[in-house]
């Protein structure tokens, strides 16, 4: 994955640290906005309750409270999206910077399977099992039908 991004492990770690600092700032902003949304929702609930109890100016108060809730949620949504993007990016960058270096190419030779070699070989995708079909005995030395 680092090869795809043309990024070294050190660059990925530095970028993750930078994103972490940005995340801390963004979390503070989101926390304030969530408190504002909660306060506006509480005002809306109280206005709805007062309207049901027969408040004369209750509908206008409820209408304004609903508008305030919508506005505060509209402000909160993009902030939460950017915070989630930062968290996802930090997670991926940390995985890339701490991951072991992968093998870019596998050996090209075929591995020939025999009954004497029960261990799994490293390159099983290139395993040639045709010699096993040409024998008339199984792994226990007993004859088998071909």
Q: Cβ(26)–Cβ(80) under 8 Å?
A: no
pTM of structure: 0.59
Query: 10 — phi, psi (to 5°)?
Result: -65, -45
Both tokens of 107, joined, read: 């050996």
Say whether pLDDT at 94 is over 90. Answer: no
Of 98, 121, 123, nearest to 108 by C-alpha is: 123
Encoded tokens for 101: 């270096």
Residue closest to 124 by CA, chosen among 116, 113, 134:
113
For residues 33 and 120, which has the higher predicted lDDT (pLDDT)? 33
What tens digit of pLDDT does each residue of 109-125 get? 555 555 555 555 555 55
Q: Domains of the chain by range and CATH?
A: 2-98 (1.10.287), 105-146 (no CATH)
């Amino acid at each position: 994955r680092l090869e795809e991004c043309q990024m070294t492990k050190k660059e990925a770690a530095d970028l993750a640290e930078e994103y972490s600092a940005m995340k801390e700032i963004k979390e503070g902003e989101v926390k304030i906005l969530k408190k504002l949304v909660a306060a506006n929702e509480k005002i809306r609930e109280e206005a709805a309750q007062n309207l049901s109890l027969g408040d004369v100016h209750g509908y206008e108060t409820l209408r304004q409270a609903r508008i305030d809730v919508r506005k505060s949620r509209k402000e909160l949504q993009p902030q939460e999206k950017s915070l989630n993007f930062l968290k996802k990016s930090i997670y991926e960058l940390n995985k890339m910077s701490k991951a072991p270096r992968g093998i870019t190419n596998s050996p090209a030779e075929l591995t020939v399977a025999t009954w004497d070699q029960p261990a799994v070989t490293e390159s099983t995708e290139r395993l040639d099992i045709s010699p096993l079909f040409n024998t008339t005995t199984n792994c226990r030395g007993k004859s088998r039908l071909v």
